[in-house]
């Protein structure tokens, strides 16, 4: 890796749901496949990753079932750290150098979130995985992806989805007339109430001129394609 190169730098958002392969917990086969696709791109692009935690807990769901929302959200954040460690393990097995940074201090398992250090890691060719979301209840990891991308100088947020391959005119799982959109503005996505990415994330990107691409993790190879800049899925911009 040439430390002085000015390579493209992107932030990849991976949902927790993908890690579980549709079930609670981590599916090692799924995570190792994702890791190999990421490792295949690391020579061409600087990569930061935000991992979700929906395969463990979602705070909003737990609070609907009687838990205090803040405490439930902290459980959600802790779930994202488990995903971050699983991804780190499989990335290192695939030959990539990695660091995990957590927004909640747990120094035995992860560095604290230090944005300038994260940038330095990426310049050295290390993949940085951000765990524990923003460390704040009522936030989603989509929003954290936008914030981390802004703070660490990424040019684009790449939102990897499973089960859907981009932004649609309506929810394709419930509306058979829904069609995929190649390009949409944040304002349009917000006005149409499209929920493929949450509205806080859309508006943070809109207000700060951050580009986004929403794409499907299937077929195999798509994560690598998105990382190296192929125009798959839907581009979202100001």
Contacts to ligand UDP by CB under 6 A: 15-17, 52-54, 58-60, 73, 76-77, 80, 133-134, 136-137, 139-141, 144
Residue 234 Cβ, how far from ligand UDP at the closest point, in Å? 18
Residue 140 Cβ, how far from ligand UDP at the closest point, in Å? 4
Pairing state between β 46-51 and 111-112: unpaired
Our CB check for ligand UDP shows the closer of 5 and 105 to be 105
Tell me whether residue 54 is annotated as binding: yes
- Burial class for 143, CB neighbours closer than 10 Å (0-12, 13-18, 19+): buried
Tell me whether residue 137 is annotated as binding: yes
The end-to-end CA distance of the chain, in Å, is: 33
Residue 77 Cβ, how far from ligand UDP at the closest point, in Å? 5
Residue 15 Cβ, how far from ligand UDP at the closest point, in Å? 4
Tell me whether residue 55 is annotated as binding: no
Tell me whether residue 73 is annotated as binding: yes
Tell me whether residue 201 is annotated as binding: no
User: Which secondary structure element, helix H or strand E, spans residue 219, and what is its range?
Assistant: none
Residue 6 Cβ, how far from ligand UDP at the closest point, in Å? 30
Q: Which residue is nearest to ligand UDP (CB)?
A: 52
Question: Looking at residue 165, what DSSP letter applies?
Answer: -
Our CB check for ligand UDP shows the closer of 75 and 228 to be 75
Phi, psi of 146 (to 5 degrees): -65, -45
DSSP E strand boundaries for 119-161: 127-131, 156-161
Our CB check for ligand UDP shows the closer of 51 and 210 to be 51
Secondary structure of residue 19 in the 3-state scheme: helix
Q: Closest by alpha carbon to 16, among 213, 160, 119?
A: 160
Query: Using CA atoms, how far apart are residues 199 and 143, in angstroms rounded to an integer?
Result: 8
Binding site feature residues for ATP: 13-16, 54, 58, 162, 168, 171
């Amino acid at each position: 890796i040439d430390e002085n190169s000015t390579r493209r730098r992107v932030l990849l958002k991976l949902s927790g749901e993908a890690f579980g392969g549709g079930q609670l917990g981590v599916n090692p086969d799924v995570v190792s496949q994702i890791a190999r696709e990421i490792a295949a791109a690391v020579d061409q692009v600087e990569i930061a990753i935000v991992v979700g935690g929906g395969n463990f807990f979602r705070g909003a769901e737990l609070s609907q079932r009687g838990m205090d929302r803040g405490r439930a959200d902290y459980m959600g954040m802790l779930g994202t750290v488990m995903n971050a460690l699983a991804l780190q393990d499989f990335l290192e097995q695939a030959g990539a150098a990695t660091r995990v940074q957590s927004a909640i201090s747990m120094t035995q398992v992860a560095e604290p979130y230090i944005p300038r250090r994260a940038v330095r890691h990426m310049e050295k060719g290390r993949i940085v995985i951000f765990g524990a979301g923003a460390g704040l209840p009522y936030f989603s990891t989509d929003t954290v992806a936008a914030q981390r991308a802004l703070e660490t100088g990424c040019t684009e947020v790449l939102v990897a989805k499973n089960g859907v391959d981009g932004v649609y005119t309506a929810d394709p799982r419930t509306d058979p007339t829904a069609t995929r959109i190649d390009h949409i503005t944040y304002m349009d996505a917000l006005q149409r109430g499209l929920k493929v990415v949450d509205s806080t994330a859309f508006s943070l990107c809109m207000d700060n001129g951050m580009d986004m691409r929403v794409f499907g993790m299937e077929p195999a190879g798509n994560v690598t394609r998105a990382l190296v800049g192929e125009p798959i899925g839907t581009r979202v911009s100001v």
